[in-house]
Amino acid sequence: MDAAPLFDLTGKKALVTGASRGIGQAMAEALSAAGADVAVTARDENSLRETADRISAQGRRSLCRSLDVLDTDRIRVVVDDVADAFGRLDILVNNAGYEKVQPSLEVDEAVWDSIVSTNLKGAFFCAQAAARRMAADKGGGAIINLCSLTSYVGIPTAVPYGSSKSGLLGMTRALAAEWASLGIRVNAIAPGYFHTAMTDAFYQDPDWQTAMLAKIPQRRFGTMQDLAGAVVFLASGASAYVTGHCLPVDGGYLASI
C-alpha cells in the first residue's frame, strides 16, 4: 500500500492563527509544502509577509489577515472571509497564544485574563467559527489545537498558561466527541521544549537549559522541522480515524517522567 497519498493536502484550504513567526509560521509552511493553500493571521498583518512568501515559494496561494483572537466578532469575520475567498475551509490550526513567565503570587487579574482568554477562549471561538463553515459546506474538516506540556504537568511560574492549556486539552476532547457527526476531527499537538520568542525567557538561563536537556531522552530541544510531520498528519487523510487525541512532540519528555 502506498501511504504517500494519505498525507497529500493538494487542494485543501487551511487557516493558521498566530503565523507570523515560530511554530505558527513553521506549521503554515508545512501545510503548504504538503499541497494546501494557507491563510495566515496575526495581530499585525504586515508581520505576515515572510510567512506568505514562504507559502508562495511552495507554489500555493496565501492570504494574510489581521486577527487578535481576543476579538470574537473579528474571528467570525476573518474565518468567513477566508472561507469565501478560498471557496471553503478544510483545516484550522489554532496556534495563536500568549505566555508570561511570572511567580504565581505576583499574577494579577489582568495577566490571568490575557493569557487564559487568548489561549482558551480565543481558540474556542476560532474553532467554533471554522466548524460552522465546515458544517455548512458539508465537507467536514480538521481542527488542530496547540496544547503544551503544561496540559499534562505543572510548570512553576506558568500557572495561568498551564491552566489555559489544560483547558484546551479538555476542549479538544469535548469538541471531538460533539463534532464527529459533522465529519469534523479535532486533535491537538503538545510541543515540548522549542525555543521561540514566547519561551525565550527560559532559554536565557544556561542552568535551566542544562537541567532541562537532562530530562529529555533525546537530549536536544525541538526544532521547527520536528513539528512539520505532526501537523500534516493530523490535517490529512492519514489521520482520518483519529480524533480527540493530543500528540506530544517532546523528545520523550512525558514518557520518561
The DSSP secondary structure of 214-242, one letter per residue, reads TTSTT-S-B-THHHHHHHHHHHSGGGTT-
Options 98, 161, 193, 253, the catalytic residue: 161
What contacts 10, CB < 8 A, 6 or more positions away? 34, 35, 36
- Rounded CA separation 133/90 (Å): 9
- Rounded CA separation 21/8 (Å): 24
Cell (9 digits) for 150: 503544561
The DSSP secondary structure of 93-118, one letter per residue, reads EE---------GGG--HHHHHHHHII
Active site residue 241: no
- Rounded CA separation 196/190 (Å): 15
- Rounded CA separation 52/159 (Å): 34
Residue 135 region, left (φ>0) first, then alpha (ψ -120 to 50), else beta? alpha
Nearest to 86 by CA among 48, 118, 43, 55: 55
Cell (9 digits) for 162: 498551564
**Can you point out the beta strands (E) in the chain?**
13-16, 37-42, 62-66, 91-94, 141-146, 184-191, 246-249
Q: Mind telling me the catalytic residues?
A: 161
